[in-house]
A = this chain, B = another copy of it.
Amino acid sequence: MSAEESVVIDPQAIKELQLLDAHLSDVDTEITAKQHLMNAPILAQRQSTIAKIPGFWAVVFDNAAAELEAAITPSDSEVFAKALTTVEVLRPEIPSGAKPTDLGLDKFGEPRSVTINFHFKENEWFSDSVLSKTLYYRHGKDRSAGLVSEPIKINWKAGKDLTEGLTDAAYALWATQKQNASQQLDGALAGDARKARDAAAKELPEYKNVVKLLGEKVNGAISFFNFFSYRGRWTSAQENAEARAEVKARRAAALAGKDEEEEDEDEDFDELDFAEEDVETFPPGHDVAVSIADDIWPNAIDYFLADSIDSDLEIDDEDDEDEDEDVEME
């Protein structure tokens, strides 16, 4: 297309657009919180109804497989069908007193952080009755932002580990790092300090073990249960706090019309050689968590009913997020 050619971009206008975009994103986040709060009483009622339908969540996850990027294998599906009793999604960083009528993002904490609980009945695969995964929405000092999490220990029964040792290895690495002074997982490292930490991480036997297993275990690597060891970018609460303060400062400077310091621009944010990349057992973890929390959880009834039953009580599910139905024609 030739559209771009005719565009003469005023740099100041671009700065303004970026600021406006940041404000629109804040509204999006606030809306996420409001919708969560408004849905909560309806979803609580839904849990009672779902309790009367054995296998509800297994059907939902089967029908929603496309949203999970095919992370669910036939073996995972079998576990869900035979043992998954309840799923629930919480927003641990929305303050308990928040109301849908509140206005202002500061009233809602960080609504994008989620806890996803999977409840299981006694089964042949593992001894846990609940697998609870909390993912925190965090900003990094490298200007990254996304969901990060700690690996969950799954107590697999002998010979039944669907991840072929990966969740154990990922958990062992994390546990070692937590106790190792060189790793400073609770710190706010950047630049050379981060590089030194990463270099030390790569020397840990537990790190090497995860790398080795990821190389060997193609089948194990694709089980959905690796979701429970997803970590994402290693970003501590401390680093998040500092990085958010920096974002605010940049915004304030932009609002005041000040150009950013050149030194800032020069930091090598694009260097993607973080130690965590080579030991991530579930790369789509951020996206899968967002799919579960923002799509599968609120729309579970639609996924369950799918094409099997034609509902005639709905008056308005035609133009929600997904726009791929053509209501009247064709």
Q: Name A residues whose Cβ lies closer than 8 Å to a Cβ of B.
A: 1-10, 13-31, 34-35, 38-39, 42-43, 45-46, 49-50, 52-56, 58-59, 61-62, 74, 77-78, 80-82, 100-101, 103, 112, 137, 139-140, 143-148, 232-233, 244, 247, 250-251, 254, 260, 274, 276-277, 280, 283-284, 286-287, 290-291, 294-295, 298-299, 301-302, 304-305, 309, 311-321, 323-330
Q: Is the CB of A329 within 8 A of B283?
A: yes
Known: A3-B81, A232-B327. 16 other contacts (CB 8 A): A2-B78, A3-B61, A7-B58, A9-B53, A17-B53, A17-B301, A17-B305, A22-B314, A28-B320, A31-B34, A137-B316, A148-B328, A232-B329, A250-B312, A277-B329, A286-B318
Q: Is the CB of B55 within 8 A of A3?
A: yes
Q: Is the CB of B3 within 8 A of A80?
A: yes
* Docked complex Cα distance between A289 and B10 (Å): 30
What are 11 A-B pairs at a CB distance below 8 A?
Answer: A13-B49, A18-B311, A20-B49, A28-B317, A145-B318, A146-B319, A147-B319, A148-B328, A232-B327, A247-B313, A290-B323
Q: Is the CB of A276 within 8 A of B329?
A: yes
> In the complex, what's the smallest C-beta–C-beta distance from A20 to chain B, in angstroms?
5
Copies of this subunit: 2
Choose among A19, A139, A314 the residue with the greatest number of B CB atoms under 10 Å from its CB: A314
A20 partner, pick from B5, B42, B137, B276, beta carbons under 8 A:
B42
Closest residue of chain B to A28 (Cβ to Cβ) is: B320
* Docked complex Cα distance between A314 and B254 (Å): 11
A324 partner, pick from B15, B146, B287, B327, beta carbons under 8 A:
B287
Q: Is the CB of A326 within 8 A of B286?
A: yes
**Chain B contacts of A320 at CB under 8 A?**
25, 28
Q: Is the CB of B112 within 8 A of A319?
A: yes
A139 partner, pick from B14, B35, B299, B315, beta carbons under 8 A:
B315
Q: Is the CB of A328 within 8 A of B39?
A: no
3 closest residue pairs by CB, A with B: A146-B327, A233-B328, A3-B58
> In the complex, what's the smallest C-beta–C-beta distance from A314 to chain B, in angstroms?
5
Closest residue of chain B to A291 (Cβ to Cβ) is: B323
Q: Is the CB of A312 within 8 A of B143?
A: yes
**Chain B contacts of A144 at CB under 8 A?**
327-328
> In the complex, what's the smallest C-beta–C-beta distance from A280 to chain B, in angstroms?
5
Q: Is the CB of A17 within 8 A of B3?
A: no
**Chain B contacts of A31 at CB under 8 A?**
31, 34-35, 38
> In the complex, what's the smallest C-beta–C-beta distance from A240 to chain B, in angstroms?
11
The answer to whether residues A313 and B251 also contact, given A20-B42, A20-B46, A49-B13 and a CB cut-off of 8 A, is: yes
